[in-house]
Structure 1
Amino acid sequence: MQIAPGRRVALNGVEWTVDDVHGQLGRLVLVDDDGRAETRSFRWLINHADLRLLPAVESGRPPPVARQPRTLADLTKDQLERARLRAAHVLEAETGFREGHPARALPGEPRPAYDPDRTTLTQRRYAKAAEMEAMPRPEAVRCGLQHLSYRTLVRLSGLVGDSLLLACADGRWTRRRGGHRTITKEIREAIFAVKAECGPRARLSQGAKHRLMHQYMRERFPTFPTEKIPSRWTLAAVWNEWFGPGGARPRYGRTAEAAAEAGVSGRMVVHRPGQVLVLDSTPMPVKLRETVFGDAITATLTLALDLYTHGLPAFRLTLQSDTSVDIAMLLRDVMLPLPMRDGWGEDMEWPYAGVPAEVIAEFTGHRVAALPFFAPETVTTDHGGPYKNHDLVEAETEIGCRILPARVLRQTDKFAVERQFLTIQTMLFEHLLGFTGGDVADRGADPERDASLTLAQAEHIIATWIVQIWQNRKLGEYAPSWAPGEDHSPNTLFAAAMEQGGFDLDFPEPSFYYKVLRKHHVKIHPRRGVKILGLWYHHPVFDEPRFQQPSARGGKHAGKWVVRSDRRDRRQVYFQDPADHETWHILRWRGLPHEGEIPAFSDKTADALLTRVRANKIRIHSESELLEHLLGILGSVTPVDQWPSQAKKKAGKKQRVAQAREITRAQAAAADRPAAPAIADESAPAEMPAAWAEHARTIDHAVDADRRRRREEALADVKPVAPATLHEALNRRPMFRLPPPDDSEADTPVQEDDT
């Protein structure tokens, strides 16, 4: 006879099911249809006088799934108390004490009928059975003691502890779920057919699914009784048990199923710093003051979060929206050590014991703050425009990291950085003036009036908060799996990772800035230089004979040279010398004046310039002629409404913010460029003005210089004649000679004396 869980037998005409088998003990657990469980030995079952093996029941339902062992946690509080009461009666019959030991005797124990010194075990068992039989029926049923007989006490005698409590618990309390008897083989087939049909369709209600099941049963099984088809509520319960609640939208459910079929639905285990870097941007909920006009503006905060340590190795603040160049520079900041700033004490200096601060300072040339830096291996982003830009993808390839974009509208793929924005808001932004709240309904009376911080001040506050507070803050649920009971912060996790796997002291060179910029494959014109997005750029190095021939490059861009540009500042582009790859030449726009500088302009302004030229059908003979139109766009031709004293009153805020953004982006580009230029004789761009008055004076100087140059070019072939002196003008006629009378002839010649 084969004994296994699920085998059905009949004992004295009562059907039992083998629920569990304890081979090491020689026992098995039998459960009847009412849920009552009994523990018997193999010998008892084999030698039973009326034992009959029952055949397996064929049904449309799937076989029951083997369940895990029962525990006391499966019982409710009331059920556990009743099981303990039954176990107390069993222990009293076995030991004479309800707690099972004389050391834990209750007041009045042992009772005379259960005194172990005066009675035997058999006498105590019979006394307990008589006590249970004499107990009032309602009380015995309530406590479940109506079936506590002598044989039951003998059967439970070998159990102690939790095993005794589980044996005293009624099996009907934790009976196996019988499933839904109405779910036959045909109904199961119909449910799965409806599930497959709902996949490519739009979202359907549960009522529509129920009607589709009726349609399937009517066409596939015409003889199936309609009254035996489960109701809508039974279908809803079965659907929830088999397929889950189904809260995902159909579009994302289909992508998840496709990913599972492709075998890419597994989870990534992050176990070292830099393994996964999560990037995201959000509008900063604090109004700031731009330094050009002093208007209140909204900045964009971009964070880089290390998923292992939950540290913030880098961040960026940009006016209005960010661009792909800002994201590329953010990735470069992750790989660079953060210099110490004014006002930062020794407690904010590099604290990691694996690499001393003196060694880091020797490599970088400055003191380094307590913020980790590393080369990211995988970058996870959302599907925003700057993150999908092909220039950023090329920059990430140049860095050597893999791109793992999050699924569309799946916050769980980058939940850590989403939660980090809320953490910064509650711990820092809510304490700053100009805080706008979570939404419009939570906004203050006038946050723009309260705004007092500039972009530079806000950037300094956030950097100080990250280094001093967040990097040393205790992590709660983000503690590492290898030390769940220990206290860790982002800094301690990074230090522990350094101890376990070491630290690669390698950060990019200053020329790395040029390598992450946008690439252009162009040809070099002998006299004009290179044309980048409609503007011509030139450098004296192009006059050398080696650049008079096409490039030696082959392939798709055969014969072309690579020039890189920063879209934040279109006044110059950058060219890598083919003979010395460490030398980068700064190519200036040919429209720039020879002396002085003009304010910076970005891609947006350059596009507006070229659009204006094409719309007005202006024929441009040289790049210098474009300068007048560019200065007109920047505000050089200023009517009264655009005077510096009237600009704040008359000009639109949108235009002022756009001009402030041009200047701020140029300042960011200048800060990202290497400190020392590649060639010593090249002049560095002038610093941007900090106020609109200075900005207007700079434009006026640029216009005057351009007009002066054009006048000099126009009069280059004309010899200048000096004006007459005052003495010569006075000697042309006597000073004291009276004019002729009215009746005299005006045409009479006058002879002048030598005197």
Structure 2
Amino acid sequence: MVSAPGRPGRPVAAASGRQVKLGAYVTFQGGTWQVAAVAGASVTLVDEDGQTASVLSSFLFADPAFTVVGSPSAGVRQWGLLESVPARQREQALAWQRHIREIETGLPDGPGSTGVPRPEYDPQRTSMAEREQTKADELTRLGWPRVSRATVRRMRARYHDQGLWGLIPRRKPSSATGQADERVVAAVLEALRRQRGRSKGTLKGLRELAGQILADTHGPGTVALPPPSTFNRLARALADPLEHPGRPARTATAPVRPFTPTVALRPGELVQIDTTRLDVMAISEDGRAVRPELTIALEIATRSVVAAVLREEGTKAVDAALLLAEMAVPHPARPGWPDHLRMAHAAVPYDRLLALDARLEQAAARPVVVPETIVIDRGRVFVSTAFLAACETLGVSVQPAPPRSPAAKGAVERTFGSINTLFAQHVAGYTGPHILARGEAVQDEARFTVAQLQELLDEWITACWQHRPHDGLRHPLLPKKALAPNEMWGALLGACGYVPWPLTGTDYLELLPVRFHPVTGRGIRINHRTYDHTLLNEHRGRPSPAGAGGKWEVHLNPHDVRQIYIRLPDGHLHEIPWIHRDHIHAPMSETTWRHIRTALGRRTDREKHEAALAEAADQVLRRARPTTAAQPAPPKTTPGTHTAKAAPQAAGDQPAMSRYEAEAEDSLDALEARAQAEARDDVGADEPGTHPLPGSGALTLYDADQEAELW
């Protein structure tokens, strides 16, 4: 064997402290050699072909490629790192060293020490496996945690590989993503990139987006998402803390009031109604980016959203009144919806219900309830004369909530939060729950009009909310299973039954706000609009036999001002069209009309001015709703009607309204501010003799009789 000079019998040590024995194989100058002999400081090597070479031991060890086959590479142990280890861990490492030496040599202090080995650790009497098992049992009796023979064998290997430093207990360093699938990591990074600069949503919404990316990239079901807790840790590790800050801390805490759950035992027994701003920017009728108001009716017994209405500039009394009709009649399934969103596929006794109400054949899978009691806050809309009168007409009891007590309507308040997290954060133009989570240019992200957003919301309620298990819905026979709103409605139908509530077109007209106006020789004049029809010929200039002050009772829908409805002496409401209704090919709200009237101003006589307003209104509505679909056919002209041909909207053509906008460009902002102030002052839309509150939106009544047939 290779011996150290001057000390026969001691093997020569390599740079790593390992001993190179005679017959060992070493790597030298790119080849593998076997140590054959040593003559002083020279080492004789033999390669695989039998060729020999004699080199100095110092030259052999200095070769950069020198290694001993089967032994770790040379290197000085990092003894200085032991000073950075806590004292308790150093003591534990030294204790392991004594135990390992006793296993291998029989003596705790290793070879060369004095003493007699204990019988159970005598190498001459026991095998290595027996000594390892004996040491594991001994350490377990001493109170060492989780020590087995495999643990002893692993610690021996670490000691031979790294020395005393290998016995220091430490965690294995890992990357931020751990053992996560690289495809999942890439999907999370892509989801975070798409959210960069936009309003921040929840981790659940980010997980759904990552799942969509995985399905689009690798195919549906190819790569499974990790559990929510694992995904949340992965997302926090990959997200930039500067771009995804946490929620702001609360600066003030309100005292917690006693919580009493609201209980309802049958559908329609208790319905909560409230209004809030949706966390989504939408496109208004005049092309502006606005945050629409959402009004919902939540049925407490089934936690079903039985009615939901989006409005552009604020909910009016007519919207709250129409909620009553919307929750009491079947919701029609929209064209293009899949079949599983129809009532026939819901978890209800459909055949029995269809025998009671034939309208359910084309209905969506949403509950139909007749409200008994409605809980409202003290908002101006819900305490208005129109809403209270509608409730009284339909036999609905109204229960105002106590002042400054949001817990009195806790269910509907919590539902608003669920809609924002489950629906709104996935919609373009999401504003986030607070200012710190808001994107940089939310207004520029708005892609949907209020009407399109209403369609999306209706489909989401039918497809998601009504089929999503709710923790507050428990059946007495299945107390551990959370039921979906549709499932709870089906369960309660067996106990309470179903009573259809038919509504006709006249019922819808009666729910509209009431005004009183005289019938003049030119017809009925409302806000610079003239309504006229041959039905008014025998009543022109005459007082109403039943109206206040001799004026006639008029019903007006503020979301579609193209026609009004007047009550004639026969007791029925009759439709009176606007004289320029043929120019407007889409529903026009009172807010749009005020905006156009303020921007243009009167520059000609009354008839020409009204015709110019009608043309401008048509152009605004066309620009506000860009579409690639075919334009509607021009209306047919009949004798006695006023018609005008609209200019084509070709590329480069200037719309008729543009020249007026150019003249009023300097003062348009001031005029719009004044118009908005006027709109806020008109608060008595439903009071007799007052102007209605202007509103906007796209969920309108085109024709009352046709609407009743659709329902």
Pick the TM interval, shorter chain.
0.3 to 0.5
> Greater RCO between the two (CA within 8 Å, min separation 6)?
2
Name which one, 1 or 2, has greater alpha-carbon Rg.
Answer: 1
TM-score normalised by structure 1 residue count: 0.45
TM-score (norm 2): 0.48
